[in-house]
Amino acid sequence: MKTLDDLLGEGVSGRRVLVRADLNVPFDKQNPGVISDDGRARAVLPTLIALRDAGARVIVMSHLGRPKGAPDPKFTLAPVATRLGELLGSPVVFASDTVGPDAAAKAGALEDGEVLLLENLRFNQGETSKDDAVRAAFAGELAKFADFYVDDAFGAVHRKHASVHDVPAILPHYAGGLVIKEVDVLKKVTEHPEQPYVVVLGGSKVSDKLAVIKALLPKVDKLLVGGGMCFTFLKAQGHEVGKSLLEDEMVATCRDLLSEAQGRIVLPVDVVAATEFSADADSVTVPASEIPADRLGLDIGPESVALFAGAIGGAKTVFWNGPMGVFELAPFAAGTRGVAEAITKIDGFSVVGGGDSAAAVRTLGLDETAFGHISTGGGASLEYLEGKTLPGIEALEK
């Protein structure tokens, strides 16, 4: 696939470049409009700066959240435009629509080196439509704004959406540096990972991670399972899990996976069990086999952290996706912190698989540079590891 460097080599001064970025940033639940983690915005800065400094007229597009194909003020990108301008050190023009009159006027008025951010792509039904014709029509409207297309939104490349899959079929297209780096890193942990290879999986549901577990199990030396998903595995071992998150329909599958893994799947040996899902709830650390009937597990315990850290310590490659507990609540953050800190100490290559794991690194104040790579795309990373074809990557390769 052609890259941003190829485009810059061709010259972009005075030309309009449409950049698909992933600006789907989280907001503070207590302070609407305040971005709680701007990591995704910072990740696309090198591409935007390179284009701006080369004299391009840069038109940025992104989605935010899951609006229902119509404008919704809860999901406006206006605060993101402000933050992006702060990060770039120069104002970012904001269009109040995506392909409407305001976007058209502001795109047409851009000067060399200026940056415009369009309103949320998902305010238009054409962005996510499963109807190829509807999606292509919306892509055509977006493509009218520019001479070239750059995709630097790795977090969206697993979606067959207009801005990801259909626009590059219309415009000369290039992969941004972030997309290139993400693919290179994932190839490293998928095709030829240096052994021992340890994968750490957390998050809520086994069903969400089943495909990646099946894909990775033949390749890994150890698969460490924490988070809400561990309780379905514990149930499969015959333990009661109280009021903990449980997928009953997945218990038999987990039992089969444990049998197939022959000891390579490692589960928590103790958990922090609370009376309710609250930072103020009464909590106690108990053996994983003795969770009280009236409590739910919200984190792995200290013995589990030590067990997991021991497995991680000897690894040459570590891939981590999913927190070990409800890290957003201080009493249940120690498991995620302990495992993350163990990953930072390995004498090898580590990858944080985006999503909540990347958010946890920043929320807990861990040193981002201590990890080999922090992905910007949780879902995209997992689908790549599953061996799926990613529509956005496929489109860039044509």
Residues annotated as part of the active site: 40, 205, 355, 379
Question: How many CA within 13 A on the CB side of residue 288?
Answer: 25
In a 3-state reduction of DSSP, which class is residue 223?
strand
Q: What are the structure tokens assigned to 308, written together?
A: 């997991």
Q: What are the structure tokens assigned to 375, written together?
A: 């992905």
314 labelled binding-site residue:
no
89 labelled binding-site residue:
no
255 labelled binding-site residue:
no
64 labelled binding-site residue:
yes
- Cα–Cα dist 309/350, whole Å: 14
- Cα–Cα dist 12/274, whole Å: 57
328 labelled binding-site residue:
yes
Whether 75 and 120 have beta carbons less than 8 Å apart is answered as: yes
24 labelled binding-site residue:
yes
354 labelled binding-site residue:
yes
**CA Rg value for the chain:** 22
297 labelled binding-site residue:
yes
264 labelled binding-site residue:
no
- Cα–Cα dist 232/240, whole Å: 10
- Cα–Cα dist 161/155, whole Å: 12
**In sequence order, what are the residues at sequence separation of 6 or more whose Cβ sits closer than 8 angstroms to the Cβ of residue 358?**
39, 352, 374, 375, 376, 378
22 labelled binding-site residue:
yes
User: Taking Cα atoms as reference points, which of 112, 69, 114 lies closest to residue 95?
Assistant: 114
313 labelled binding-site residue:
no
Q: Tokens 């058209």 appear where?
A: 104
Q: What are the structure tokens assigned to 186, written together?
A: 């994932």
Residues facing 173 on adjacent strands:
149
- Cα–Cα dist 119/98, whole Å: 5
| Residues that constitute the known binding site for substrate | 22-24, 40, 63-66, 122, 159
Residues making up the annotated binding site are: 22-24, 40, 63-66, 122, 159, 209, 297, 328, 354-357
Give the residue ranges of the annotated binding site for ATP: 209, 297, 328, 354-357
Which residues fall in the annotated binding site for (2R)-3-phosphoglycerate?
40, 122, 159
